[in-house]
Structure 1
C-alpha cells in the first residue's frame, strides 16, 4: 500500500509550526489505500491509534476520535492550467481544492461507512458571537466578536492543541492559555487588553479580550511617514508625533515590566495607535515571560530578536530602539544578515534632509537621542569604529558580488536569492543564474554558463523571468549560443506558457525573442514569424477588454500571484507592443500599446503627494514590476505624439509616484532601483533632465550590510536575507547602473552576436 511520511522530528515540527500551511499542516503519515481497502485501513489504524492525541488536520474529516483523518484527493501530483487537479470519471479535470476545511467534490459519492464522519457536526456553546476573521495561522485564529450578554466588542484569540509549535515545544493552545494568564496578572496595567472570558472549546483554548482602539503602528507609519518629501518641516511634524508614541510606549513598557512581565515580541504589528490622539496599546502577549525568564525566539518578528548579550529584563526596551529606527526609515537591520546590526539608512536619511537647510529637524534628533540613551541604559553600545560603505557603493557591490555568491554556494549549496525561488521553483532572469550573468557582463565565467544550464535542466517553468526562456537569454548574453539552442531543442516555449504575462508567460517570451533577433537559430525555435505572432496577440487583445484578472485584489508579495504592472499586468503587454512597434513600425502595435496602457491605468489612483499608483485593496504600488515605474520602460523610446493624450497627461503624476525620498528596499522589481530607473525612463519620454546615478548610489548605500565574510551586500525586498538576484538583490541594482550609464531604459538591451 503506497504511503509517505515526514522523515524527521525537526521536519515534522517545521511542517506543523505556527506559520505552516494550514491546508496541509499536521500530517505525519499519508496512506493511499485502494477504495475497497479504505474502510479496513481506517478501522485497523483506529484500533491502534485511538488513544494517541494529535493535531486536527483541517483539510480532512476525522474518522473516529483518534488522530486518523481522511480526505478525497489525488494520489500523485496532477496539474492542469496551473492548478492541482483530480480527474472526474468522465476524464475531465476538476480542481483539487486544498483548503483548511473539508471539501468534497459534488460528483463524489460518499461510501456508507464514511457518511457518519462526513455528516458529523460539532457545536459548542460560547458566550460570544464572531463577526469576522482578523487573521488565521496554523496555531489558531484571531476574530472580531461581541459578548452576547453585554454587547461588548471583543477580540477572540484561538489556540489549537498539538498545532502551531514553536521551538520551545509550546503549541497554540498552550500559548493562548499562557497569554490569558499573563493578562490577568497585568489587569489594570496601562495600554494592555483585559480578559473578558476564557475557556477550552473542543480542544481549542479561546480567550475573549477587550477590544483596543487603533490601527497597527505598521499601518500608522505607512499612512503618516512623509516618504515623498525631504522638506525638514514635514519630517519635523512627523517625528514630533513619533516622539509622542515612543514616550507613551516607554511608559507602558515600564508598567508592564513593573508587574514582572516582559512582552518579548514588541514590533509594529503588536502596537496599536489611535490616530485621533496618538494613544497606544500593546497586544499579543503569547510569548511573554518574567523579568528573569527565557525569551521565546522562534516566532518573534525578524529584526526585533534580542541579542544574546541583552538580559531578558531589557528585551522590551531594546525593541523600542528598533522601533525608533523603523519609524524613521521603514526598515530594521536583521540579525540574520549582519552581526553589526547597523542601519545605514538612518545617517543617509539625515544627510538627505540636512542638505535642504543644513541641519536635521530637532524632533528627529530627539528620537535618535532617545534611542541612544536606551541602548546605553541596557548596556549595549553601538560600535564607533565601523567603517561606512564607500561613496561609490554600487561599484563596490559589483566587485564584492562574486564573493557573496561563492560564500552562499559554499555554505548553503545555492545562490543567495529570494526565498520564493525555493517556494515556487523560480529561476530565469529574475531569480536565477541568468540574472547574475546579465549583471556581471561582459565577464564570461564558465561557472555561470554551467550554473545556467544545470538550473534550466531542472526547471519546470518556461518564462523569461522565472524559467527556461530567461536561461536561454542569459546564455546568449554570454555568447553561449550552442548551449542556448540545446536547451530549447524540441521545446515549444510559447505553447507551454501558462499565461500572457511578462514574468512567466508568452509576452515575456516574445520580448526575449525580439531582444535576441541577432541569434536567428534561437528565435526560430520560439517563433517562425515574430511579426505575425505578435500581431495576432495584438489583434486578440484589442478585441478584448484587457487581461483576465480572476482575482483583482491580492495583497501578497509572491511573484507568481501578482497581477499588475510591467511584469504581471496589462502594462507588460504594452511593453511587448511598444517593442514590436520599434522593431516593425506597424501602427497595429501602437493601437494595442495604447489600449494596454489605458487598461492598466484603470486600477491606478491619485494619492496626496504620492502621484498616481496602482491600488490593491489599500496597498499602493509604484514599483517597476507592479506599478507606476514600469511605464518608463514601455514609453522611454516611443514618440510622444503616438501616445494616447490621456496617458501623456498623467506622466508627471507617474514620475511623482516614482520619486520617494527613500524606499524600504533597494531592489529592481519592488525597490528604489526600479523606481529610479522607471522615473528616468519617464523623464526621457518627456525630454526632461534625468536624475544622476549618484542619487541611486546614495539610496543603495543606505541599505548596505557588511557580511561576516568581509564583503558588502544588500538585503532583499522583505529585508530578511542578503540576495544577489536580478529581481530583489545586487544583480538588479548593478544592471540598473549599467543601463543608466549606457542611456538605455528598455530594461534589457538587444543582444549582439
Structure 2
C-alpha cells in the first residue's frame, strides 16, 4: 500500500489536497523576504530557488545536499542561505516545514528523504571550498541521510553528482542504460563518465568502512525498504539461523507525530517483549546500535503475508470457473484465526492500531503471526486517526479496543470485496457492499451483520441512479462542476495527488482532461473554465512538460477540440522552446503522444519526424515501462495511425515490432488470461496492463492477420472480463475495462457484449456522492477524484463510450485520427475570441 496518499488526506476530508498551506506560505524567511539585488528567485510548488542573475541556470554536475531535522531547518536555512548569497552560489530549498516533513515521512518514496537544501557550486574548486566552510558553519546540526549521497564530514552535508541540474536523482543516459545495471538510488555511484575529485577520497574511504562489516548477522537480501527503515533477510553469524533484521535510520521516516524510524523501532522492541511467549508475535532476538543505525533482530516466521495469500486465492480477479464455496470456507476460517490472535493481544492490554492484511503472516500450519507492531499502544492511549491507508483505519473518535474491532470488521468485508477505504468517506457504504458480497458469494446470512453494524454505525445513503445515461451524465457533471475551484491557481478540479507535480492543467490529472470528457460526452462547455485553462496554459508554457497526458500537447488537444486551435498551436510551439531534457517515447508523457497529437493538429510532417525518432529509440530496446501509456504499445499506436495516413507498410511493421515487445512482458495466468507481470505484480489496467495492450493489438489485427498475435489478443481480452477491479478509474480500474469492451460500439458492439453490461452495473460498488451527485473515489479510494485518469471524469467518459448517442472515448484509440485544423476564418475567430 502506497501510504503517502494519506499525507494528501490531511488538508481536506473529501479530496486529495496539497499538504502545504499554499504557494505563498511564508514558513521559511527566504521564501518571501525581499530578493537582494543581482539575484533572481523562482518559486515552484515544493521549492524556492535563488540564482545570481548573471549566471546560467544550474546544470549537470556536483551538488551539495544539506539535510536537516524539521525543528532545526530554519537555523540551517538561515546559515546556508546567507553563506550562498555572500558567495554568489545558486541554491534551492524545500519551501516549508510541512514539505520537509513530507519528504522525510515514513511512507514517502525512499529516495525522497534527506535533502533540505541543494547548493550548486560552479566547479570542483568551489565544491571543495564550500564543503569545508559549510562543514564548519553547520557543526552540531543533524539530519537524515541523503540517498545516493556521499557524507562529507560529521555534519549534515552530502555530495552527489546530479544529471538534471536541480539536485534530483536523474535518469541515466541511453549509453549508461545499455551498459551495466543502474546502481540503487541509495548508493553513491556517479555516472560512468564522471571521476570523483581527489578531495572526496577520504570520505569515500570512510564510507567503505561500512558498519555492516561489524554486524553479528550476515545480510542475505533486502525484503523491504521504506523511508528511514530497511528490512533484511539475514542469518545469525554464530549459528547460521535465519532471522528478520530491521534497520532504522535516525531523523528519517517521520510519522504524523514527528517520531522517526528509530523511535518506532524502539517502541516495537517494547511491544515484542510484552508479547513474548504468547505465540502471536515473533520472538525478539536482539536490539543493538552501530554508528547511528538501530537494529532489531527477531525470529523469521515461515509463511506468507495474508495480503499475498488473499491475492492468490480471491476468486473474482480471474476470468474462468471458480470455487466460490471453497473460498468462503477458507475466508471465514482465516477470519476466526485472526480474531483469536487479536483477542490475545487485547488480553495483554494492547491495541494494535494499524491493522491490514500485511500485518498477519499465515503460517504453514494455518495459524497467523502478527508482524509490524510499531503502532501498538496501551488500550488507554489508542485512538482512531480517521486515515485509512491500510484500508482498516478506524474513524477519528474511536478509542481503545474499538479501534481494532473496526479493523476486524473491515477484514470481513475485505476478504470478499477489498474496498474498505471508502468507509471513511461514507460509512453508509457498508450496507451496500454487504449486499454486493451476498449476491456474489454463498455466505451465511449472519457473517457480515456485525461488521455492517460496527462499520456502518447506523448510517444510510441515497444512491444516485446508475441505469439511465442522461441521469448519470447530468449527475456526474454536476458533481464535477460543484467541485471546481477557479479561485485557485494550482488546480481547477480536484483529482489525484499527481496534479500537484504536473501543475493541475494536464489531460490525465488536470483541467484539460475534465473539460474534454464533459464536452465529448455532451455534458456541456464551460467558457469560464476554458478561460482558466487557456490563461494558465499559455502563461506557463515555456519550460513546461511537452507530453500528451502530463503536459502541453494534451492541453493543446483539448483546446483544439474546443475550437481554440490557434491557441493550441501557440502552446505546443512555446512548450518546445528552451528544452534541455528530451522526452521519452511513451504515450503518457513522451514522443508517442506528441506524434499522435501532431497528426490531430494537422502537422503530419512533424508527426513523421517524431515517429522516426521513436522507431530509432525503440530499436535500441523496449521502454522501461509497459502497456499503452508507459510501454511499447503507445509507440505502436502512433505507427498504426501513420500507416492509416500514409499507407506506408513500414509503419505497420514497426507497430508489430513494438507490440511484440510488450507481449514479451506478459505471462499466462492460472485462469488462462495473458497479463503483464512485474515481479510479483500482475497488471491488468488500461495504462500499464493487459487491457491497453489488447486494445492496440486489436487495432493492428484489422490490417494484418496473424494467428499467433490473434491468439495472444484473445488471452489478453480475458483480463478485461474480471469482475473485481479495485479502482473505478479509467487508467487502472473498471472504467478502463468498460471503455475497452465498448471500443467498437460505432460498428454495433456496445452493450451487446454481456460483459460490458456487467461491468457497467458493478460501477455501483464504487459509487459515492458529492453534494448529492454521483462521484467516484480516486487511487487508493481514500478521497474522491474528478480527474480523467483516476476519477469521475474518466468514469463519465467510459460510461459515455457505452451509452452516449455518438461514439466517444480516449483520443487516438478508435480509428483514424480526424484532422482538427479549421479554415482560416475559423482561426481568425478563435484568435479574436481570446482578445
Change (3 A) 1:150 1:299: farther
Q: Does 1:528 align with 2:605?
A: yes
Q: What corresponds to 1:357 in structure 2? A: none
Partner-residue secondary structure (3-state), 1:347: helix
CA contact (8 A) 2:592 2:611 kept: no
Q: What corresponds to 2:494 in structure 1? A: 416
Q: What corresponds to 1:371 in structure 2? A: 451
Q: Greater shift after overlay, 149-158 or 740-749?
A: 740-749
1:84-103 alignment runs, 5 A limit: 99-103=185-189
**In 2, distance between residues paired with 1:680 and 1:96?**
41
CA contact (8 A) 2:236 2:242 kept: yes
Aligned Cα root-mean-square deviation (Å):
3.7
CA contact (8 A) 2:626 2:688 kept: yes
Q: Does 1:316 align with 2:404?
A: yes
Partner-residue secondary structure (3-state), 2:144: coil
Change (3 A) 1:366 1:512: farther
Q: What corresponds to 1:330 in structure 2? A: 418
Change (3 A) 1:500 1:9: closer
Q: What corresponds to 1:571 in structure 2? A: 633
Q: Greater shift after overlay, 425-434 or 614-623?
A: 425-434
Change (3 A) 1:384 1:75: closer
Q: Does 1:136 align with 2:221?
A: no
Q: CA deviation at 1:254?
A: 0.4
Q: Greater shift after overlay, 441-450 or 496-505?
A: 496-505
Q: 2:465 aligns with which of 381, 384, 390?
A: 390
1:742-753 alignment runs, 5 A limit: 742-743=806-807, 747=813, 750=818
Q: 2:766 aligns with which of 677, 681, 703?
A: 703
**1:689-723 deviation per Cα after TM superposition (whole angstroms, max 9, x unaligned):** 5247643431222101223x443311123323322
Q: 2:727 aligns with which of 661, 665, 675?
A: 665
CA contact (8 A) 2:148 2:189 kept: yes
Q: What corresponds to 2:32 in structure 1? A: none
Q: Does 1:591 align with 2:653?
A: yes
Partner-residue secondary structure (3-state), 2:690: coil
Change (3 A) 1:22 1:652: closer
Q: What corresponds to 1:499 in structure 2? A: 584
1:112-261 alignment runs, 5 A limit: 112=199, 114-120=200-206, 121-123=209-211, 125-228=214-317, 234-261=323-350
Q: Greater shift after overlay, 138-147 or 308-317?
A: 308-317
Q: Greater shift after overlay, 684-693 or 666-675?
A: 684-693
**In 1, distance between residues paired with 2:449 and 2:321?**
18
Change (3 A) 1:248 1:573: same
**In 2, distance between residues paired with 1:258 and 1:435?**
53
**In 2, distance between residues paired with 1:493 and 1:644?**
43
Q: CA deviation at 1:427?
A: 4.8
Change (3 A) 1:470 1:581: same
CA contact (8 A) 1:637 1:685 kept: no
**In 1, distance between residues paired with 2:158 and 2:167?**
22
**1:66-90 deviation per Cα after TM superposition (whole angstroms, max 9, x unaligned):** x3323144598369997489xxxxx
Partner-residue secondary structure (3-state), 1:70: strand
Q: 1:462 aligns with which of 529, 546, 558?
A: 546
Q: CA deviation at 1:660?
A: 0.7
Change (3 A) 1:36 1:622: closer
**In 1, distance between residues paired with 2:651 and 2:578?**
19
**In 1, distance between residues paired with 2:574 and 2:137?**
53
Q: What corresponds to 1:549 in structure 2? A: 622
Q: CA deviation at 1:674?
A: 1.3
Change (3 A) 1:11 1:633: closer
Q: Does 1:110 align with 2:110?
A: no
CA contact (8 A) 1:666 1:699 kept: no
Partner-residue secondary structure (3-state), 2:676: strand
Q: CA deviation at 1:239?
A: 1.9
**1:302-327 deviation per Cα after TM superposition (whole angstroms, max 9, x unaligned):** 43222123222221221111122221
Q: What corresponds to 2:49 in structure 1? A: none
Q: CA deviation at 1:179?
A: 0.4
**1:231-288 deviation per Cα after TM superposition (whole angstroms, max 9, x unaligned):** 99722221211111110110000000111111111102222223x5432121101111
**1:515-559 deviation per Cα after TM superposition (whole angstroms, max 9, x unaligned):** x3xxxxx423xx4375x5588579x57xx98672365xxxxxxxx
Q: What corresponds to 2:360 in structure 1? A: 271
CA contact (8 A) 1:393 1:701 kept: no
1:4-15 alignment runs, 5 A limit: 4-15=92-103
**In 2, distance between residues paired with 1:314 and 1:435?**
42
Q: 1:724 aligns with which of 772, 775, 786?
A: 786
Q: What corresponds to 2:753 in structure 1? A: 690
Normalising by structure 2, we get a TM-score of 0.76
Q: What corresponds to 1:733 in structure 2? A: 795
CA contact (8 A) 2:502 2:551 kept: no
Q: Greater shift after overlay, 13-22 or 722-731?
A: 13-22
Change (3 A) 1:692 1:26: closer
Change (3 A) 1:546 1:623: farther
Q: CA deviation at 1:744?
A: 6.2
